[in-house]
């Protein structure tokens, strides 16, 4: 099947046809995965490859909003609270243990 014929520019750049970009929801901010499969270059938007957020034991979900975090950070600067605690060491070791399991 022959589609739209294009030519690469001097540095190998190509323009994806507008109708293809629109169909796949590709914008200038869309990360693309480019692979070589046998004798074809395959370009896929990452949101098509990863339809839902990746769940990993090494991802730490935020418990504070950005505003709360900045407030806490200001408080810590004022009272010189250590930024890394023994509890943080315990959590780090637990994350490393889970990471090795993967």
Are 27 and 72 in a shared domain? Answer: no
Q: Is residue 39 part of a domain?
A: yes
Which pLDDT value is given to residue 25? 87
Q: What is the full DSSP assignment across the chain?
A: ---------TTS-----HHHHHHHT--TT--EEEEEETTEEEEEEHHHH--SPPP-TTPPPP-S-HHHHHHHHHHHHHHT--SS-HHHHHHHHHHHHHHHH-
Which pLDDT value is given to residue 45? 86
Residue 7 C-alpha from the chain's centroid: 30
Q: What is the pLDDT of residues 43-101, one digit of tens each?
A: 888 876 555 555 666 666 777 788 888 888 777 777 765 667 888 889 888 888 887 76
Q: Is residue 57 part of a domain?
A: no
Are 7 and 43 in a shared domain? Answer: yes
Which pLDDT value is given to residue 50? 57
Residue 19 banded pLDDT, cuts 50, 70, 90? very high
Domain that includes residue 38, residue range: 1-52
Are 42 and 71 in a shared domain? Answer: no
The pTM (predicted TM-score) of the whole model is 0.43
Q: Is residue 58 part of a domain?
A: no
Q: Is residue 61 part of a domain?
A: no
Are 22 and 46 in a shared domain? Answer: yes
């Amino acid at each position: 099947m022959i589609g739209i014929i294009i030519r690469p520019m001097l540095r190998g750049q190509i323009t994806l046809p507008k109708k293809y970009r629109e169909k796949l929801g590709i914008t200038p901010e869309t990360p693309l995965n480019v692979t070589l499969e046998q004798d074809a270059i395959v370009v896929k938007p990452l949101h098509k490859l990863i339809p839902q957020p990746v769940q990993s034991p090494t991802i730490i979900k935020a418990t504070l909003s950005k505003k709360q975090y900045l407030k806490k950070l200001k408080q810590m600067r004022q009272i010189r609270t250590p930024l890394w605690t023994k509890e943080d060491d315990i959590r780090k070791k637990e994350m490393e243990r889970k990471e090795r399991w993967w």
